Amino acid sequence: MPLIMDEPIEGSYQLIGGNFTTAGEASTGLKLRLMELGIDEKIIRRAAIATFEAEMNVII
């Protein structure tokens, strides 16, 4: 059965260029939230990878 969501999900993370200490926190947070919502694992994996890549682009 497909997941039906009536409300958008919003969130934010502060990324600081050059701060490798917090690298991966945003993508991990997104991944955990999507898991809590019962999203398909394949979708979670793709979203987490895309988020991590974007996160690293800011940090680098």
Domain ranges of the chain: 20-59
Q: pLDDT for 15-58, tens place per residue? A: 999 999 999 999 999 999 999 999 999 999 999 999 999 999 99
Q: State how far the Cα of 48 lies from the Cα of 14, in Å rounded to an integer.
A: 17
Would the pTM of this model clear 0.75, i.e. be above it? yes
Q: Are 33 and 51 in contact (CB under 8 A)?
A: no
Task: Output 11 or 28, whichever has higher pLDDT.
Answer: 28
* Tokens encoding 7: 């409300």
- Contact assessment for residue 40 and residue 29, using Cβ atoms and an 8 Å cutoff: no
Contact 4, 48 (CB under 8 A): no
Q: Are 34 and 45 in contact (CB under 8 A)?
A: no
